[in-house]
Amino acid sequence: MKKSICLYFQVHQPTRLRLYRFFDIGKDSHYYDDFTDRTILHRIADKCYLPMNQLLLDLIKQYGKDFKVTFSITGSALEQFDRYEPEVVRSFKELADTGQVEFLAETYYHSLASLANEGEFKHQVEKHVKAIEDHFGVTPKAFRNTELIYSDNIGKQVYGLGFKTMLTEGARHILGWKSPDYVYSNPIQSGLKLLLRNYQLSDDIAFRFSDKGWKDWPLTADKFLTWLKSAEGDVVNLFMDYETFGEHQKEASGIFDFMRALPGVVLADGSLEFTTPTLATRKHKSVGEIEVPDPISWADEERDVTAWLGNELQQDAFNKLYEQSEKLALLNNAVLWEDFGHLQESDHLYYMSTKFFSDGEVHSYFNPYNTPYEAFINYMNALSDFIIRIDDAVATFGR
C-alpha cells in the first residue's frame, strides 16, 4: 500500500480593529480598520492567493487525479475576498470544480468558541459549512478547528456535528513515542478519526525554507522526497498557512519553484500518493486511540492554547466577551451578532500575548501593536462599546 501525503493549507485574514480610543466608547461603533484589511488583502492576493491557486490548478491539470490538496478558508477571509478581491474567490472555485480539492469545515470567525460556548461553536460551524457550500458548491465532510485546537471533548462535539475526520497537531507531549504519521481515533467517540500534523516536515517548508542558516538549506523537492519516504507510518500530514507561499516565504526564495517541482518528484517515485483528509481516513485504519484531555494546538513550542489564553490580559478579554452570550441570545439583532463574531476572532487575543522568548519573534511578526498592553486596551475599548450596545438593546427588549 502506498504511503499517503496530505497537503492542507489554512487560509485566514483577520478583521483588524482600528485605533479605538476611550473617547470613542458610546459614540462610534465601527470597530474595524477597513483600509488596512483592504491593503493587506490586495498585497497577499497578488503575492500568494492568485499565483499559488494558478500553480495548483496547473498541477491538477498536469497530474489529474494523482494530485490533491486541501483547504480551510475562514468566513472572515471569505468576507474580505467578496468585498475586496472577488477574483480570489473565482480562483478557489476553479480549484473546487476540479474535484481534486477538499474544503474543510471550521469556525466561521476563526474563534475560540470551542473553548467557551458549545452553542456558539455549533452556530459558527454550521454558518461556515453554508458559506463553503454557497461559495464553492461543495459540502465539507472533515473538520479542522481554529489553529488546530483539539481535545477529547472538542472531538466529541465535532463528531456530534456530523464529522468523522478531524485534523490536529502531532504534539510530542500527547504522542510520546508514537508517530504522527498514522490515523488515530478519539477515545470518547471512536468514529472520529484524527489526522495529526507532522510538524517537523511541515515547518521545514513553512518556517525554515528560506533560512540560509538552516543546516539543510537549500531545500529541494528531491531532498524533501527522501524525508517523506523515511517518515514512518501510513500518511504524512503537511499542514501549514497558505500565506507560506509568497508572503512568509518570498517568491525569490524559490518556494513556488519548490512546490511546482514536488508533485512530479513524489509521483515519479511510485511509493507515495497524494490524498485528502476524508480519503486518508477511508483508506487507512486507525492504529489506536490518542488521549488529549487538555486542549492542544499547532502554536508555539508548547503546542497548547497559551498563545491566546496564557496571561491575565487575554483571559480577562476572553471571559468578558463570552459573558455576553446569554444576553445576546435574547436578541434577534443581526448587527450585534456579526460584531460578536468578529470580536471573537482569535487574532485579537494573539496580539495580547506576552511571550518574549522562543516564540516571541513569531508573535511580533503577526502583530500590528507595539505592546500586548496596547492590544488589550484597544480591544477592551471596542468591547466596552459593544457591551453598552447589548445592554441598551436588552433594556428595550420586549417594550
The pLDDT value recorded for residue 352 is 95
Q: What pLDDT digit, counting tens, does each position of 340-361 carry?
A: 999 999 999 999 998 764 444 5
The CB density around residue 110, as the number of other CB atoms within 10 Å, is: 28
- What single letter denotes the amino acid at residue 321? L
pLDDT of 359 reads 46
pLDDT at residue number 398: 62
Q: Exactly one of 79, 102, 120, 147 is catalytic; name it.
A: 147
Hey, what amino acid is at 200? Q
- Does residue 48 contact residue 242 with C-beta atoms inside 8 Å? yes
Residue 118 CA, distance from chain mean position:
19
Q: Quick check: 263 and 63 in contact, CB under 8 A?
A: yes
pLDDT of residue 363: 45
Radius of gyration of the chain (CA): 21
Provide the pLDDT for residue 355.
Answer: 76
Report, as ranges of residue numbers, the positions in the chain whose pLDDT lies below 70: 356-366, 398-399
Q: Does 243 qualify as catalytic in the annotation?
A: no
DSSP per residue over 91-118, as a string?
HHHHHHHTT-EEE-B--TT-B-GGGT-H
